[in-house]
Amino acid sequence: MRSQSRRTFLKQAAIGAAVLAYPSATILGANDRVRIGMIGVGDRGNDLLDQVRKVSRVELVAMADVYSRRRDQAKSKVPSIQTFSDYRQLLDMKDIDGVIVASPLHIHSRHFLDTLAAGKDLYAEKTMTWSIPEADKCLAAAKDSNRVVQIGLQHESTGALTDAKQWIKEGWVGKVTHVESWMSRNTPHGKGQWVRPVPSDCTAQNVDWSAFLNGRPDRPFDGFKLINWRLFWEFSGGNCAENMVHQIAWIMTALDLPLPSAAYMSGGVFSEKDGREVPDTIAVTLDFPKDIVVTWQSTFSNKHYDLGDRILGSDGTLEHHFEEPLEYWPEKTNRPNGESTKGKAPNQDHMKNWIDCMRTRGTPNAPAEIGYRSAIAVHMANLSYKKKQRITLEEARAITPEW
């Protein structure tokens, strides 16, 4: 069932999914390939390219990137791939089923909305958007579209999350009022976290600079900003968007938390004063309506404690370190006979989970809805940092994003 008939099937499946039960994956022929395109194939895009090629019955047919070096790299890995500078040409390709977006944060919402408008399924890197109004638009589009949307929040596919949800449901943890989470890194003296060298071919001739700017004020080509966009607010959401988002999404899913009611974030550029705008030292407090406070702290000058989350309950504690089994300790006060244990649920392949759902029209592990809630938490924290005050959800919503 190749080409037209299969495409018709996928279309009918999507329509059917809106009204009836999802069709079974077995309807697809065994040799049917899912055809994938990619937008923005830099560092992360290259990881995702390798991941998607490992999934069986997937064909990577096209990629779009504003920088010629990235197109050449993709061609060297996948000689048959079609390459474009303008992503709209890729979206015009009728026989692409799904698109993976790994562009810089400030372009996510454009690529997200245009991919859905073109009728493709979508794997969109985190954080879902650069701002709250963009998050509202993307969630609404995802809900309206019947497309399979997976956000690149791969912690949502961990066995630790399966175990956490189960153990919380079974009452092992009791009443949770506080979750603490942290993420830490270090670099050699004089070298700031995230700073990348600018390749000699990164020039105005080889880059569509205005497509990268995506509506930000026009200016002469700046290779440092193209490569190191993460360091600047107009393109980035700093470490909350880069890393807190993974952990806050995991915590929100584990405890089924709604949007935060308020956020406070302190910190600054303390580790390396290298011209960056986004802070390297961060302490975030998020208040939730269910009487829960979540804290997240991060530094770029010490990595001893690495990355982790602790859910602190009246009846037990859950501790999570990425890619490790979940651990549980009972609170003897309320569970005198409880025993400590380690989780056993396996991790899932986040990319394969998306491809599988494209076939079944099922809901993947990190749909737009958790992309949305985690993005709002990120934006509230950053707005609080910029305003140097505690900020409620309503106040955050009332702020017009600026760069």
Residue whose Cβ sits closest to ligand NAD: 42
Identify the CA nearest to 287 among candidates 177, 153, 395, 372: 177
State in angstroms the smallest separation of the CB of 229 from ligand NAD.
6
Which residue lies nearer to ligand NAD by CB, 87 or 300? 87
Closest approach of ligand NAD to the CB of residue 22, in Å:
26
* Shortest spacing between CB 67 and ligand NAD, in angstroms: 4
Looking at residue 67, the DSSP 8-state letter turns out to be B
Query: Where does this chain bind ligand NAD (CB under 6 A)?
Result: 39-45, 64-67, 70, 87, 102-105, 107, 125-126, 152, 154, 211-212, 214, 242
CB of 173 vs ligand NAD, minimal distance in Å = 27
Closer to ligand NAD by CB, 38 or 176: give it. 38
CB of 380 to ligand NAD, least distance (A): 18
Closest CB to ligand NAD among residues 102, 168: 102
Number of H helices, E strands in the chain: 14, 15
Residue with tokens 């395109």: 37
Nearer Cβ to ligand NAD (23/104): 104
Closest CB to ligand NAD among residues 104, 330: 104
DSSP 8-class letter at 22: P
Q: How far is the CB of 152 from ligand NAD (least distance, A)?
A: 4
Nearer to ligand NAD, 28 or 202 (CB): 202
Helix (H, G, I), strand (E, B) or coil at 221: coil
Residue 308's beta-bridge partner residues? 182
Nearer to ligand NAD, 7 or 216 (CB): 216
* Distance of closest approach, residue 237 Cβ to ligand NAD, in angstroms: 8
Q: Which is nearer to ligand NAD, 78 or 262 (CB)?
A: 78
* DSSP symbols for 342-368: E--PPP--HHHHHHHHHHHT---SS-H
* Rounded CA separation 186/184 (Å): 7
Residues contacting 347, CB < 8 A, separation 6+: 157, 158, 159, 160, 323
User: How far apart (Å, rounded) are the C-alpha atoms in residues 82 and 74?
Assistant: 9
SS3 call for 247: helix
Dmax over Cα atoms in the chain, in whole Å?
69
Q: What is the DSSP letter of 83?
A: E
**Phi, psi (rounded to 5 degrees) for 102:** -135, 45
**In the complex, least distance from residue 156 CB atom to ligand NAD, rounded to whole angstroms:** 11
Contacts of 43 (CB under 8 A, 6+ apart): none
Strand partners, 99: 37, 122
- Sorted by sequence, the CB contacts under 8 Å of residue 215 that are 6+ apart come out as none
